[in-house]
Amino acid sequence: MKYDGPFEVSEKLSDVTYRLRIPASYKIHPVVNIAHLEPYHRDKDGDSRPKKHLNRADFEEVPEYEVEEIVDEKMVKKGQRKQRRYLTKFVGYSPEWNEWLSRQQLANAPRILKEWELKQRIQAPKKA
């Protein structure tokens, strides 16, 4: 298997999935299963691999994946606080690519977030 990189891990999403900082020119989804990752090791003299010269603009043009819908939500513990996460489906991707995102990560999909919240209020059982 061919490996490329090294790439910075920007977020650990679960025990087996990580979000990487990948240049937009790679045109791949930034969430990667651990099975496709390899640890990066430097030798005693420094970096043993040839360095790639990546353009800073590559990182600034990271593709934004369009949210199709929110399919579920859950509360997760972050330190002493609980945070709501939304299971998000992306346009053009099968459900295996669904990802748990925070409200902040859904900042560019306010309409979809509002639709989800309205749907949850309508479906919530009414208290007597």
Domain residue limits, the chain: 1-63, 65-128
pLDDT for residue 68: 94
With 80 as the cut, is the pLDDT of residue 118 above it? yes
Residues above pLDDT 90, as percent of the chain: 27
Q: Is the pLDDT of residue 12 over 80?
A: yes
Chain length of the chain: 128
Q: What is the mean pLDDT of residues 87-91?
A: 93
Contacts of 125 (CB under 8 A, 6+ apart): none
Q: How far is 67 from 55, CA to CA, in rounded Å?
A: 27
Q: Is the confidence at residue 49, as pLDDT, over 60?
A: no
Answer yes or no: is pLDDT of 59 > 60: no
CATH architecture of structural domain 65-128? Beta Barrel (2.40)
Name the E strands within the chain: 8-12, 17-21, 31-33, 67-78, 81-90, 99-102
Q: Which residue has the higher pLDDT, 36 or 52?
A: 36
